[in-house]
Amino acid sequence: MIDFTLSKKQKDVQDGIRSLGKYVIRPMSLSMDRNKEVPEQFLRNFMRLAKGFRSDDVVDPSEEGAAPRERDPNKPSETNRTSAIAAEELAWADAAMLLSVPGPGLGGPPIRATGTPEQKARFFGVFKDMDKGPLKWGAYALTEPGAGSDVAGIRTSCRKEGNEWVLNGRKCYITNGARASWNVVFATVDPSLGRAGHRAFVVEKGTPGFEIGKIEDKMGLRANETAELVFEDCRVPEENLLGGEAAYVSKEGFMTAMKTFDNTRPLVAAMAVGIGRAAYEYARDFVKDNYVLSRPVPRYAAIAERLARVGRRLEAARSLVYRATYMADAGIPNAKEASMSKAAAGQAATFACIEAIEICGAHGSLATEHALLEKWFRDIKVYDIFEGTGNIQRVVISKRLMTGLKAF
């Protein structure tokens, strides 16, 4: 049975990050958005503070490949739930900042799930000693100009030549892709094979034939880098094939890497809930300061109902996030639930931002002192797009609901 009660550790994480977000991150949000960057010193300070919020069973990226930590087998894991709680609070403060935090990012899960012990030690090892040395990022490169949600349609090619793989193609909209020390890149040996032809590589910065294309000038999440990656006869050592040749004898290697979405989609959903909650709370406080809802005025009753509707949808989305993360922590397959949380949260948060702007009127989009609402409205759109569009989530959900029917 799912328990929605937060553990003491989770409550401490929630309270600590909420306070940090309110008093430190949120006041910098508009400045970071205008300057299109998160200050490096701020990221360093945040990483030091974040260590105190880490759950006991969350592994430090720099420790991957080392001996596993001892954990009480009778104590259920809290990794995914705690990460979702933290993601919601940080997105409430500033989602672009959260996406800019150094570390393996979305490239971490496929290496953790599919990489050999040597690959884990090597690629996660680059994140050691960031307190003293330069900040480093990892990234996940799947989307292409003609293929994103349709993963089977990727056209970046790979062919084996001696002890190297040669990659040709382009990837687009890659979070932290330009500054990443390495990118997990998906390519295909033969597009006609669909997923069976896919291979995943870890392409390191400076690899011959690997270049950075344009840095996107985006509508939202402007403080976070989003880049185009170009591969022209890019020669990748065979030891950088994720999981090694044996992992691709069947589809299992690719499918294992793709299953990481079952863990990351609920986190993206939690971020959406955080942005939606920020807009909802802003509109709620604005109404409290400007209207006396207890008066029998039809317009006031309509405003109260709109706020209630927003609150209900956000609570429902959070419940789906908690269900998906509970299943992930318990080792229960959660592809359907992960997609449900992602689909519901993106729509609920978008609805929250739209309603907040309409309820606040000119104050929501025109007044300088209320510019955060306008920023959240710009930021939230992508949460129904990346990590699989809302339409793709509904396809995933329907396939699992209709398992066994010939049409599926």
Residues 293 and 390 both lie in one domain: yes
Does any domain span residue 294? yes
Closest CA to 28 of 16, 15, 41: 41
Residues 289 and 235 both lie in one domain: no
Q: How far is CA 314 from CA 1, 2, 182, 277, in A?
A: 22, 19, 35, 7
Is residue 83 classed as helix, strand or coil in its secondary structure? helix
Does any domain span residue 349? yes
Does any domain span residue 263? yes
**pTM for the structure as a whole:** 0.89
Q: How far is CA 357 from CA 172, 285, 293, 365, 370, in A?
A: 31, 13, 18, 6, 10
CA gap 205, 214 in Å, rounded: 16
CA gap 84, 266 in Å, rounded: 7
Residue with tokens 């510019």, as numbered in its chain = 371
Average pLDDT, the chain: 87
pLDDT of residue 278: 97
Residues 40 and 71 both lie in one domain: yes
343-378: b (≥16 Cβ within 10 Å) or e: bbbbbbbbbbbebbbebbeebbeeeeebbbbbbbbe
pLDDT of residue 15: 94
Does any domain span residue 146? yes
Q: How many residues does the chain have?
A: 408
Residues 284 and 356 both lie in one domain: yes
Asked if 359 and 306 count as a contact pair (C-beta separation under 8 A), the reply is yes
Does any domain span residue 407? no
Closest CA to 118 of 166, 162, 66: 66
Asked if 297 and 369 count as a contact pair (C-beta separation under 8 A), the reply is no
Does any domain span residue 74? yes
Residues 62 and 123 both lie in one domain: no
Residues 269 and 369 both lie in one domain: yes
Does any domain span residue 408? no
Asked if 95 and 379 count as a contact pair (C-beta separation under 8 A), the reply is yes
Q: What is the DSSP letter of 345?
A: H
Structural domain ending residue among the three candidates 102, 120, 140: 102
Does any domain span residue 336? yes
Residues 128 and 242 both lie in one domain: yes
Structural domain ending residue among the three candidates 102, 120, 150: 102
Structural domain ending residue among the three candidates 84, 102, 120: 102
pLDDT of residue 67: 39
pLDDT in tens, 17-52: 999 999 999 999 999 999 999 999 999 988 888 776
Residues 75 and 47 both lie in one domain: yes
Residues 269 and 213 both lie in one domain: no
pLDDT of residue 186: 93
Q: What is the identity of the amino acid at 66?
A: A
Whole domain around residue 329: which residue ranges?
Answer: 259-401
Q: pLDDT tens digits, the chain, 408 residues: what are they?
A: 677 888 899 999 999 999 999 999 999 999 999 999 999 999 998 888 877 666 544 445 555 544 344 445 566 788 899 999 999 999 999 999 999 999 999 899 889 888 999 999 999 999 988 888 899 999 999 999 987 777 778 899 999 999 999 999 999 999 999 999 999 999 999 988 887 888 999 999 999 999 999 999 999 999 999 999 999 999 999 999 999 988 887 766 566 656 677 888 999 999 999 999 999 999 999 998 887 766 777 777 889 999 999 999 999 999 999 999 999 999 899 999 999 999 999 999 999 999 999 998 866 555 555 689 999 999 999 999 888 888 888 888 888 888 755 444
Q: How far is CA 201 from the centre of its chain?
A: 20
How many distinct structural domains can be found in the chain? 3
H helix or E strand, kind and range, residue 246: none
Cα torsion 351, 273, 148, 180: sign = positive
Asked if 356 and 364 count as a contact pair (C-beta separation under 8 A), the reply is yes
Residue with tokens 């942005």, as numbered in its chain = 275
Q: Report the CATH number that the domain containing residue 223 is assigned in CATH.
A: 2.40.110.10
Q: Report the CATH number that the domain containing residue 86 is assigned in CATH.
A: 1.10.540.10
Residues 232 and 310 both lie in one domain: no
Q: Report the CATH number that the domain containing residue 302 is assigned in CATH.
A: 1.20.140.10
pLDDT in tens, 79-126: 899 999 999 999 999 999 999 999 999 899 889 888 999 999 999 999
Residues 250 and 132 both lie in one domain: yes
What would the two tokens of residue 193 be?
């094979």
Catalytic positions are 387
Residue with tokens 């790979």, as numbered in its chain = 158
Q: How far is CA 250 from CA 71, 94, 120, 310, 352, in A?
A: 33, 41, 22, 45, 44
Residues 287 and 390 both lie in one domain: yes
